[in-house]
Amino acid sequence: MKGIGVSPGIAIGRVLRIVRQKVATTGMLLSGDEAVRAEVDKYRAAINHSVEDIRSLITTQAGAAAPPGTPSPTAAADILETHIEMLTDPQLDTDILELIQVDKKNASDAVLEVTGRLAETFRNMEDPYLSARASDIEDIGQCLLKHLGGLTSSPEGSARARPDLPLIVVADDLVPSDVLAMDLHQIAGFALQAGAGTSHAAIIARLRGIPAVVACGTPLDKVEDNDILVLDGATGQLWINPGEAELTAFKQKKSSQAENARLLASLKDVPAVTVDGRRIRLLANISRVQDMEEVFRHGAEGVGLFRTEFLFMEKSSFPTEEEQFISYRDLAMASKGTPVTIRTLDIGGDKPLPYFKIPGEQNPFLGHRAIRISLDRKDIFLTQLKAILRASVFGRLKILVPMVSGLQELRAAKEILTTAKNELLQKGISFDKDIPFGIMIEVPSAAVIADLLAHEADFFSIGTNDLCQYTMAADRMNDNVSHLCDPYHPGVLRLISFVIRQARQNNIPVSLCGEMAADPLATLLLMGMGLEEFSMNAPSIPATKHIIVNNSLNQAGQVLSRVMELDNSSTITQYLQDINA
């Protein structure tokens, strides 16, 4: 079963169903002025109570620390403020009062009719953002109905049969007063049939750090009180009554997430310095400008790899220089002065673009891809380089070229960079004239001549995923041989060590941006080789930092010496696991 995850985290608990009477208009009319006046008073009181409910949520939120992985609390408060504004909207008021006073409808019917009509109007709007506001209107309608007594929600079934696990509240939807009445300490999660990311229930869940999945639809009907329910508030997945083994796995995942969150909180603002004072830079790999928020939340000091493929994949034709410039500029501005390495287009047979046909190849990984395409299609490359250069005045940008196999390619790429600079100079457009221009080291031939390349590249970034599969001649996507693709093979380790040493001897920066950068087994080993810059997915940063701040460079050197004495990947991995345990 799957819904929309609106508040991240794994929840394991027993189901507590909360059922709400279905509401439909009653058609009951009011008789006499006295009844109308009383109904208007009831309606006014409902508005006041609903506003109070929402205000109390905003206040409780102000004191609550934002749990990791959630949207900013101000965004949630903004939605709540918007809901207050809707509840007190004069147009809504006029419409509802007209139904009560002129048509003699009861307040619940009037609210249901007006909010239903309004929600429908919004739902039919072309703009998807505005269309989604229909759920906000329904949300305030539910609030009002609840206070008008047209809605009652109560736990179904009897008291908890088995208090071995916390509760997961299963309901159609929840309004603030429902949640305010609950003891949230007992609640591990929410699973709702209806709702959207902006519904009250979702906001409350995020504010309180309670995992929640909404929009589960009718499959949720088959869940019964006391069933064991597991939900993942990040992916929106739900599991009903999982087996013993599965349950254990979920519990492990939950505790490792909790551990990571704890690390994150304690290490976020701690610099990554070894006990003997060596400063290590931890950077993030990202694909979108929006990811910058996550980068800083996890304590990264910048972006070590910005993949530009996404920018190209979401378009129906090659993005123009202007479109690319805007993206890179936004990225530079969002980076708040931290360094950002932008990798030029890395497409090919295995990473196709819908509008750029690459003829079928027998070996796409050994085929026409990355820099090879950029050098053949100089127009595409030049456009991208100009866009990056123009954005370079807005931040500390660096350019990284993928798949370089030798000096000729590097020189050809630098020539195009020069052309790009000259074109901008002629137009009087400013850019960072000293923008660093580096290369990925992921082809074995490039690794072996790292000393030569280091004379002409401004920096190296080691891509261990490709370097490993090319060195081992084993396709990491092929299940039969992927086990050979092991970065702890002494052959791969010697190459990585050589590249780092050559970079250091030639005084150019070197970083490592493959999966290995985030592998806790590799942290000390790579530091022992002299690596001082790691770039990884932002959520892995705290765990890596944890290792760095608890070890010394001396220890890292010992790990390296020991590993280099071992002759195969399984003894190396075993040794690294042992020292990590």
Q: What does the binding site for other proteins look like in residue numbers (CB under 8 A)?
A: 78-79, 81-82, 85-86, 89-92, 118, 121-122, 125-127, 129-130, 133, 136-137
Q: Which of 216, 468, 485, 513 does the annotation list as catalytic?
A: 513
Residue 503: closest CA among 453, 448, 466: 453
Min dist. Cβ of residue 104 to other proteins (A): 24
For other proteins, which is the closer residue by CB, 233 or 319? 319
For other proteins, which is the closer residue by CB, 170 or 202? 202
For other proteins, which is the closer residue by CB, 122 or 310? 122
CA angle 541-9-286, nearest 5°? 35
Min dist. Cβ of residue 1 to other proteins (A): 31
For other proteins, which is the closer residue by CB, 34 or 127? 127
Residue 230: closest CA among 206, 208, 252: 252
DSSP string, 489-540: SHHHHHHHHHHHHHHHHTT--EEE-SGGGG-TTTHHHHHHTT--EEEE-GGG
Residue 456: closest CA among 388, 397, 503: 503
Min dist. Cβ of residue 328 to other proteins (A): 17
Dmax (CA) for the chain in angstroms is 96
Min dist. Cβ of residue 84 to other proteins (A): 9
DSSP 3-state of 404: coil
* The three-state (H, E, C) secondary structure of 37-64, written as one string: HHHHHHHHHHHHHHHHHHHHHHHHHHHC
Question: How far, in Å, CA of 282 to CA of 517, rounded?
Answer: 9
Min dist. Cβ of residue 355 to other proteins (A): 23
For other proteins, which is the closer residue by CB, 1 or 333? 333
CA angle 150-153-159, nearest 5°? 155
DSSP string, 219-262: GGGG--TT-EEEEETTTTEEEES--HHHHHHHHHHHHHHHHHHH
For other proteins, which is the closer residue by CB, 124 or 248? 124
Tokens of 123: 């739902």
For other proteins, which is the closer residue by CB, 95 or 475? 95
Are the beta carbons of 501 and 553 closer than 8 angstroms? no
Active site residue 368: no
Amino acid identity at 581? A
Active site residue 200: yes
Tokens of 247: 């349950």
Are the beta carbons of 286 and 307 closer than 8 angstroms? yes
Min dist. Cβ of residue 284 to other proteins (A): 26
Are the beta carbons of 231 and 187 closer than 8 angstroms? no
Are the beta carbons of 284 and 295 closer than 8 angstroms? yes
Min dist. Cβ of residue 485 to other proteins (A): 43
| Spatial CB neighbours of 419, under 8 Å, sequence gap ≥ 6 | 382
Count CA atoms within 13 Å of residue 409 on its CB side.
21
Tell me, rounded to whole angstroms, the distance of Cα 566 from its chain centroid.
39
Are the beta carbons of 143 and 176 closer than 8 angstroms? yes
Min dist. Cβ of residue 75 to other proteins (A): 8
For other proteins, which is the closer residue by CB, 91 or 248? 91
**Which residue's structure tokens are 């039919």?**
124
For other proteins, which is the closer residue by CB, 124 or 478? 124
For other proteins, which is the closer residue by CB, 114 or 223? 114
Tell me, rounded to whole angstroms, the distance of Cα 229 from its chain centroid.
25
Question: How far, in Å, CA of 112 to CA of 104, rounded?
Answer: 14
Question: How far, in Å, CA of 492 to CA of 488, rounded?
Answer: 7
Min dist. Cβ of residue 198 to other proteins (A): 9
Are the beta carbons of 484 and 423 closer than 8 angstroms? no
Q: Which of 147, 200, 489, 546 does the annotation list as catalytic?
A: 200
Min dist. Cβ of residue 392 to other proteins (A): 23
Are the beta carbons of 519 and 527 closer than 8 angstroms? no
> Active-site residues: which are they?
200, 513
